Amino acid sequence: MCYLIAKRMNKPGCIALQTEIGEEMARFTDDLQEKLKYNIQIITSSTPTAYSEYEPYHFVSSYEEFEKEASLIG
């Protein structure tokens, strides 16, 4: 298990999704970065609280919701 995190640099907060590392996540991340023209930083973390500079966290429950929310911040 890991967390996929999207962050717009120099702005407070981020989007986070609990997911599994694998091909689906890798394809999703690559496609999203391409779509958003790399305007946001996307990382994975085993513990989102390790990145206190990304707070507050807005947790979502699906890839679709993650993409929608990341598009709004990107």
Position 74 scores a pLDDT of 61
Domain ranges of the chain: 2-73
What does the pLDDT look like over 34-61, one tens digit per residue?
888 877 889 999 988 788 888 999 999 9
Helix (H) or strand (E) holding 16: strand 14-19
Predicted TM-score (pTM) of the model is: 0.88
Query: To the nearest whole number, what is the mean pLDDT of the chain?
Result: 90
Residue pair 45/51 in contact (Cβ under 8 Å)? The answer is yes
Closest CA to 74 of 27, 21, 13, 3: 13
